Amino acid sequence: MSFLLIDADTWTSAHWISAPWVRVAYGTTVGVAALWLAADTFARWRRRAANLTPVATATATSSQPGFLQPDHEAREAALERADAYEQHLREREAAERQAAAERAAESAVGVKRLTGAMTLFMSLFTLASMIAGTVWQVTWIGTVAERYTAIEKLEAVIRAHPLAFTVAVLVIGYHVFDFIAERRWRRNA
């Protein structure tokens, strides 16, 4: 409490303002005033946003809330606007689906053309390979026919084409089995 023991002769206004307790008191006053102002402003904004009447200005006739007497015409108008908006949304979604389908169809046409061209190329390549293979096979078969007997010719074909021979035997065997099983079924029926 040394600031209270200051001599009156040496005390000036500069000392009074620079005293630490004055600064604390001033800061506290400004802070409380700012809080009060902020709280009052917030309360007024809240009351106005909620359409509330201050208690001091309220009358006995305004005690009925507004939602007890709804505006039926405004409600019907709002429902009609909602129905119109929903119809608009449905139309927009249908248009978006249509546009997406058209884009997909356009890209499908491009893919279809590409696959068609590739198929044509592969067909022509296969045809050319078959023609060349047939000419070569005829020449080879003529050579084999001149040199070998019937059994040697069959062995030469099997040795030259083991995979094709295996597939041919399996297909023939399946069809023979299927033919016999179908005949047995008809006989029992």
Which residues have CB under 8 Å from 5's CB, separation 6+? none
- Statement: residue 15 has pLDDT above 60: no
Mean pLDDT of the region 4-31: 66
pLDDT in tens, 24-67: 888 888 899 999 999 999 988 887 777 766 666 656 665 666 67
pLDDT in tens, 87-146: 999 999 999 999 888 887 777 777 788 888 888 888 888 888 888 878 887 777 777 677
User: Distance between CA 44 and CA 38 in Å, rounded?
Assistant: 10
Kindly report the pTM of this predicted structure.
Answer: 0.27
